Amino acid sequence: MNHLNLLAPETYNIVSEIEKHASNQSKQAIIYENGVEEPISVTYSELIKNANKVGHVLLNHGLKKGDKVLIMMPRAIITYELYIAALKLGIAIIPSSEMLRTKDLQYRITHGEINAVIALADFIEEFRDIEEYNELTKFVINGNEENWISIEDEKAKQSDELDIVNTTRDDVAILSYTSGTTGNPKAVTHSHGWGYAHMKMAPEHWLAIKEDDLVWATAAPGWQKWVWSPFLSIMGSGATAFVYNGKFNPSRYLSLLQNFKINVLCCTPTEYRMMAKLDNLDQYNLDHLHSAVSAGEPLNREVVEQFRKHFNLTVRDGYGQTESTLLIGFLKDTEPRPGSMGKAIPGSRVAVVDDDGNKVDTNVKGNIALPLDFPGLFKGYFKDEKRTKEAHAGEYYITGDLAHIDEDGYFWFEGRRDDIIISSGYTIGPFEVEDALTNHEAVKECAVVASPHPIRGNIVKAFIILKEGYKPSDDLVKELQTFSKKVVAPYKYPRAIEFVEDLPKTNSGKIRRVELRDAERTKYNNAQNK
């Protein structure tokens, strides 16, 4: 694929890709299931009309093109309406998980220069201590709250027609925050043009979505992965999104796949691992499932084999970043090569380069990198030119991941350049966990690293030096875990804690997390080989 084919028209809005499917009045957009009530089905026509009503509510309260809105919502039909409405009006969206704490929200609202927030009534407590609380325009879903505007109450009175605002391919659509190794999270700026490139690549080539497929992508709103798959990949393809708003249970997942005759599945390695561990897989019929993919971290070979054995289905890995789109993976026609990341997605021009931005030879380790003119690449880190430039080498953007390419064009992962932890698909920077723990009165010093785990891929592990007068104990471990959960999002807390007398350091006094991380990997591998 010529990369110029990924370049959106100069005047372009993401929502136009979704709206074109609304001309067929009966075309299904969403099937919503919560495990309690009867499933709800919504057509593209109904979805767009309801989104238009939401758009009028936003306009009536002063929001306009160029504004930014933080959205904290669960898996729900109205979440799609909110995203469509905001993007249609040229309002940039900051996806925010309900697991974020006041500290996380404060940074996003201040740094992102947020104009408004939209949240489910159940989620608004964490907003109350925000410094800008009184100045923000606040919309609530599924409830009534003082000084919060009920979107449902107001949208009922609005017109179901709304023109798309005249946006360009370079206008900001999504501002997605992602953890870094140090300091505050980075705000990744994605334009409407990025959405165009993403929809040209991931849905067809990797997910293998056909227009009439029923597609289940399990990612939750609040993460860039939700924008990637449940929202843009499915809606842009004119397929039907299966939305399950219930707790994860491996047997429940398999029953839903069977009973709803799901055609395409995209879920996390952790979810696949837990499904593969069931001892009654032969009881499920997944004949309708023609495509199953996973992203975030490599899948274990035994998981892939279990799905192949019981369902005659190859679960295919994919690699991408918040900053880009799906770059490397196994397509349906890519010959499997166990342990490999797969091949470059058509059009990505992904390469392996040295630190100066020069392509390296076959089988030589280097940086996974993207040309700076790749349309599926972010526009930069918001208000952080220094970090943006630090990720450039020559004519390439450096992802921070290392790999080599073999003679047949397969990529082989070699590790990360930094200390980022990927656990159950979540990206976690060690610094903020260390910062939280260090504020506990018992902690003198600590280091946080990834520790391999058979289900989660990795878990967060903290190595802690205690202050004088404190002794290691199971009770203290629990206390420190509870303490950290109050400061950082729950998925970030240290699931393992080891008390130590000292930490490995460089001559300049910097903690060598790599040494701790490598030791954990060695310990895990030795245990697996016994």
**How many angstroms separate the CA atoms of 67 and 65, rounded?**
6
What are the tens digits of pLDDT across the range 362-411? 999 899 999 999 999 999 999 999 999 999 999 999 998 888 999 999 99
Same domain, residue pair 373 and 452:
no
Q: Residues 366, 94: contact at Cβ < 8 Å?
A: no
Domain-ending residue, one of 367, 399, 418:
418
Does any domain span residue 266?
Answer: no
Of the candidates 337, 297, 348, the residue with the CA atom closest to the CA atom of residue 314: 337
Q: Determine the pLDDT at residue 414.
A: 75
Does any domain span residue 182?
Answer: no
**How many angstroms separate the CA atoms of 163 and 156, rounded?**
18
Same domain, residue pair 402 and 429:
no
Task: Kindly report the backbone phi and psi dihedral angles of residue 206, in degrees, each rounded to the nearest multiple of 5, phi listed first.
Answer: -100, -60
What are the tens digits of pLDDT across the range 223-261? 899 999 999 999 999 999 999 999 999 999 999 999 999
Average pLDDT over residues 144-168: 96
Domain-ending residue, one of 384, 418, 452:
418
pLDDT > 70 in the chain, percent: 97
Q: Determine the pLDDT at residue 182.
A: 60
What are the tens digits of pLDDT across the range 312-322? 999 998 999 89
Average pLDDT, the chain: 92
Of the candidates 272, 307, 282, 280, the residue with the CA atom closest to the CA atom of residue 454: 272
Residue 296 has pLDDT above 90, yes or no: no
Q: What is the pTM of this model?
A: 0.85
What are the tens digits of pLDDT across the range 93-106? 999 999 899 999 99
In this structure, how many other beta carbons lie within 10 angstroms of the beta carbon of residue 272?
23
Does any domain span residue 339?
Answer: yes
Q: Residues 447, 506: contact at Cβ < 8 Å?
A: no
Provide the pLDDT confidence category of residue 141 given band limits of 50, 70 and 90. very high
Q: Determine the pLDDT at residue 293.
A: 96
Tell me which residue range forms the domain holding 342: 332-418
Residue 345 has pLDDT above 90, yes or no: yes
Residue 110 has pLDDT above 70, yes or no: yes
In this predicted structure, which of 35-39, 117-121, 416-420, 470-474 has the lowest mean pLDDT?
416-420
Same domain, residue pair 425 and 409:
no
Q: Determine the pLDDT at residue 2.
A: 62
Number of domains in the chain: 2
In this predicted structure, which of 189-203, 207-221, 228-242, 297-311 has the lowest mean pLDDT?
297-311
